[in-house]
Structure formats: structure tokens, C-alpha cells
Structure 1
Amino acid sequence: MPHQRAAVRPRMRGTERSVARRAELIAIGRKLFADTSYDALSMDDIARQAHVAKGLIYYYFQSKRGYYLAIIQDSVADLVTFAASGRDLAAVDRVHRTIEGYLRYAEHHQAAYRTIVSGGVGFDTEVHAVRDGVREAIIDTIAEGAYGRRDISAPARMGLLSWVCSVEGATLDWIDRPGLSRDLMRELLVKTLGGVLRAVEELDPAHPAPQPARRDG
């Protein structure tokens, strides 16, 4: 029995160290790939800037492409979780909360946001698919807030997709050229979303735009 216990405990510590080391490498990679294109960074460059042996990166990620995909997927998980918070709120409030969360994430995690939205996505269809997954997650979150469901019509989905794509470009410009406060940027995006939702309602009355909350006396 004592021998079994002694064998298990080091293995658990090793697993924890591996998870922490992998997370550390991903955090470093998020910064590296946000500032430099995928093709411009060799594995030797990455290892040198990360202050690790190149073999360690291969051990955890098998290849530079595997490393890059892990970075993108990690960034995506953070963004989607952050933007989708506030499920217990009223519909209109939830839309505000989602946009606020999205902007707050972009503002405080600029390197990760750039990696998700424009970090070399054109070179790899798998990375492109990951970015599309972010868009679908944001569309689902907005649809739940606006309509109370994710299963929406084609016109409604296309309207929300067009809005999300415009938000990506506007948010990139906002973090690159700060000028608007986050509050003002949020209100601008909320109002443009309102325009999209009203247009969707005109084309598909089964998807009415949510009404602003009434203020009592």
C-alpha cells in the first residue's frame, strides 16, 4: 500500500506541472503571434523568445501549426465565455452585457483578440473554422438575448452575422486607435444592433425586435 501511494503522488504533481507548463507556453504564444505573422516566426524564434527548448514545444503541440491552433482555441474559449456571461438578465440587458463583455475582453486582452480576429486566419482553413466558431457563439448569445432562443430564421441569422462581422472590424480599429470610451463604443454598437434587429423584424415578423425596458415614473 505505501508503495502505491508514493507512486501516485509524483504522477499527479507531474500532470499538474504539465498543465501549467502548457498554459504558460500558450500565454507566451498569444503575445508572439499577435505581434508577428505566422510565417514570420520559426520554431527557433518561438523557442528563443519563450526561453524554452524547441523540443518542449514539439512535445506539447507536435508542430508549429499545432501550437498556433492551441493558442487560437484557448483565446476563443476565453472570449466566448466572457462575452456570454449574464444569462440571468432580461433580454435587452443581456444584449448590453454581451456587447460590454466582448468590448471589455478586446480592450484588456488586445493581443489575444487580434489573434482571434486577424492573426493569420487566411493561411489555414482550420484556423478559419475556429474564428467562424467564435462568430457563431456570439450570434447564439445575441439571439438568446434578443429572441430567447438560438434556433432563428435565415434572415435573422444573416442579419446578426453581418453585425458581428462589422463589430470585429470596428473593435480592431477601436483598440488600435483609442478615442471612444468603452461606454460610448458599447452604446454605438447597441444602437447599430437595434437597427439590424428592426430590419430583421420587417423582413421576418416572427422575429420581433426586443423592446427597450420601460422606466416607471
Structure 2
Amino acid sequence: MNISQQRAAARPRARGTERSVARRAELIAIGRKLFADTSYDALSMDDIARQAHVAKGLIYYYFQSKRGYYLAIIQDSVADLVTFAASGLELPQVDRVHRTIDSYLRYAEHHQAAYRTIVSGGVGFDTEVHAIRDGVREAIIATIAEGAYGRTDIAPLARTGLLAWLCSVEGAALDWIDRPVLSRETLCELLVKTLGGTLRAIEELDPAYRAPAPARRDA
């Protein structure tokens, strides 16, 4: 799956008339504000309806349940993350990596409750939240691979190396939003440098995946 397909998958196409699609999008936008820093369990459907100034039945009509509504909100917000992270093809390689990581950290910072849900996999073993998380991971890995190697269809060793780095990013971001001692800029720079180390390690184990010049110590 290429990056364009991943972006499309991250935001499922709504069905219905133009008016109903617009109404659904409006409810999602309201929900994104309500759940930006509030956990799933902290708001009841009555709370949501009251703060959104809509009838509770309208939310059930479009999303069937509170969980369905929350999943739609998460899918919509991470679609923005994937789109932004994968953009900037015209930028120099180092700038694009900075942009990708910075946009990821901005998402974690401004959507803390949703980010925790995605990274932790939801309440218990939530396969739909896991699918959203895995989709974001694949999109970010594809973006990094395309920038580093010029392609997204990489060998298992390279993919595992990038996945290990991305999992460390998730852990660092979780710790950072709980204890924001470092500035976003400093954390971003740290993660960029650890990516360089990952790319060099991948090259050492598989010379076919040569680390790009900005990541090389001899550059």
C-alpha cells in the first residue's frame, strides 16, 4: 500500500447525502475538540450531546454508539497527522524528517487523550484501535523509508529497524506529554538523531540499505 492509499484508508469515506456527510463531519469536528484532552470514559453521551448542543439521538444516528463516535473522531484526527507527515516532498531530506517528527509530536501534544488511546491500544484489546495505530505506524514508516531509501517496499530487516525506532518515539512522546520538561524542538532533534543511528545500524547489517548522507558519520 502506498502513502496515498494509506491516507485514504486513514479517513474512511462517509456515506449518505451531501447534507448528511457535512453534518457527520461537523459532529466529528465538535468531538475532536471535546476529546482533545479528555479521556473516553470521562464524558457520557449526555455530556457530549449537551456540550455539542445537539440531541443525543443525532449522535446515535450517525455513529451508532459512543464508541463508534470516538473511533470516528480518532480516525479523522490521525488522517490529518498522516497527511501532514507524508507531505513536504519538495523539502530537503533532513527538513522533511524534522517536519514528520515535529508533526507527530504536535499531534501527541494537542490530542493527548486520543494519542494515549491509540498508542495503548484502547481499553483492553481493542482491535479497531489497534488497526488505527498500525495504520499510522505503517504510514510513518513508509514516509521515513521513502525519504531514506527512495521507496516504501523495504526488506524485513529495514522495516523492523524503523518500527523499533518508531516504537521508541511512541514511548518518548507518551513520557513527554506526561512530563513536558523538554521543549518539543529539543525532543524532535533527539529523535532525529536516534533515527540517524537506526539508519546506520540497518546499513551495517544490510549494506543494500545505505544510510542517506545526513545520517552518515563520514558525510
Q: Give TM-score scaled by structure 2 length.
A: 0.79
CA distance in 2, matches of 1:208, 1:86: 22
CA distance in 1, matches of 2:113, 2:23: 20
Matched residue count: 201
- Following TM superposition, by how much is the alpha carbon of 1:70 offset from its aligned partner in structure 2, in angstroms? 0.7
- Following TM superposition, by how much is the alpha carbon of 1:121 offset from its aligned partner in structure 2, in angstroms? 5.5
User: Which runs of structure 2 are paired with 1:72-91 in the superposition (5 Å)?
Assistant: 72-91=74-93
CA distance in 1, matches of 2:172, 2:145: 21
Corresponding residue for residue 163 of structure 1: 165
Structure 2 counterpart of 1:203, one-letter code: L
- Following TM superposition, by how much is the alpha carbon of 1:122 offset from its aligned partner in structure 2, in angstroms? 3.7
Corresponding residue for residue 60 of structure 1: 62
1:29 to 17, 28, 31: 31
CA distance in 1, matches of 2:19, 2:190: 45
SS of 2:153 mapped into structure 1: coil
Whether the 8 Å CA contact 1:143–1:150 is kept in 2: the answer is yes
CA distance in 1, matches of 2:188, 2:171: 14
Offset from partner CA, 1:36-94 (integer Å, 9 cap, x none): 54456443343234332111001111222321221111011011112122112233332
User: Quick check: 124-133 or 167-176, which moved more?
Assistant: 167-176
Gaps of 5+ in 2: 1-16
1:140 aligns with 2:142: yes
Q: Give TM-score scaled by structure 1 length.
A: 0.80
Change beyond 3 A, Cα 1:24–1:101: same
CA distance in 2, matches of 1:27, 1:92: 33
Whether the 8 Å CA contact 2:121–2:130 is kept in 1: the answer is no
CA distance in 1, matches of 2:122, 2:32: 12
RMSD of equivalent CA atoms: 2.7
Change beyond 3 A, Cα 1:96–1:137: same
CA distance in 2, matches of 1:119, 1:58: 24
Gaps of 5+ in 1: 1-14
1:149 aligns with 2:173: no
Structure 2 counterpart of 1:207, one-letter code: Y
Offset from partner CA, 1:70-126 (integer Å, 9 cap, x none): 111101101111212211223333222211222233334445544543472544201
Whether the 8 Å CA contact 1:82–1:102 is kept in 2: the answer is no
Whether the 8 Å CA contact 1:30–1:112 is kept in 2: the answer is no
Corresponding residue for residue 212 of structure 1: 214
1:179 to 181, 186, 189: 181
Identity among equivalent positions (%) equals 87
Corresponding residue for residue 11 of structure 1: none
Structure 1 counterpart of 2:152, one-letter code: R
